[in-house]
Amino acid sequence: MRVQPKPAAVTDDDVPSWRLTTKRAQAETVAIFAVFALYAAFLLKLLLFSRAPGSERSINLIPFATIAEYAFSHSPGTARVAFANVVGNILIFIPLGVYASWLRHRAAWLAMLTVASVSVAVEIIQGVFAVGASDIDDVILNCVGGLIGILAFWLLSAILRERSRVRTAMAVLSLLSMPLWYYFLFIIRLHM
């Protein structure tokens, strides 16, 4: 009598995060992608469609020039704009760092490259179509935000350890953030 070897069990760690077999895993993945799509639509609206085409065209290729201008300005109006610009550029790219890390689970450098590429592409498009100021400082701040997102994802992964738990946490956090992205995308009107 011949004994058939048992097939090796397939674990979540062996399967890419977007190719899953269980209904729960598929539902979690769909939830993550759906909320990411809302976030991406908001990002496009904020960065490319909140200004009229041809309304603004300026280019700054000197690193930290705008940030230094904000830091050394003593105008009260500039302080509010500076805070919104610096903090906003960082905060808005944190989710991109998290989502890029989730898609490239073990390649932090690919996630960072994704964040940097998106930021540079946005600045180029803003400059070409005159829908915002193209500023190297925005790329720097966006990359800082993306890096914070990547580090947050790595911390979450280190705490939860198993990919299935990380996916579940990502789905829950994504669904919790969905009302925020829906509000920003459909309710408030952005005019800059």
Instruction: Encode pLDDT of 117-128 as tens digits.
Output: 999 999 999 988
Instruction: Give the model's pLDDT for residue 87.
Output: 92
Cβ-proximal residues to 9 (8 Å cutoff; 6+ apart), any chain? none
CA distance linking residue 142 with residue 144, whole number of Å: 5
* Confidence band for 191, pLDDT divided at 50, 70 and 90: low
Instruction: Give the model's pLDDT for residue 16.
Output: 55
Decide if 12 contacts 162 (C-beta within 8 A): yes
Return the percentage of the chain with pLDDT > 70, whole number.
86
- Between these two residues, 182 and 142, which has the higher pLDDT value? 142
Instruction: Give the model's pLDDT for residue 192.
Output: 52
In whole numbers, what is the pLDDT of the chain averaged over residues? 86
Mean pLDDT of 129-158: 94
Instruction: Give the model's pLDDT for residue 109.
Output: 92
pLDDT in tens, 21-44: 688 899 999 999 999 999 999 999
* Domain residue extents for the chain: 23-187
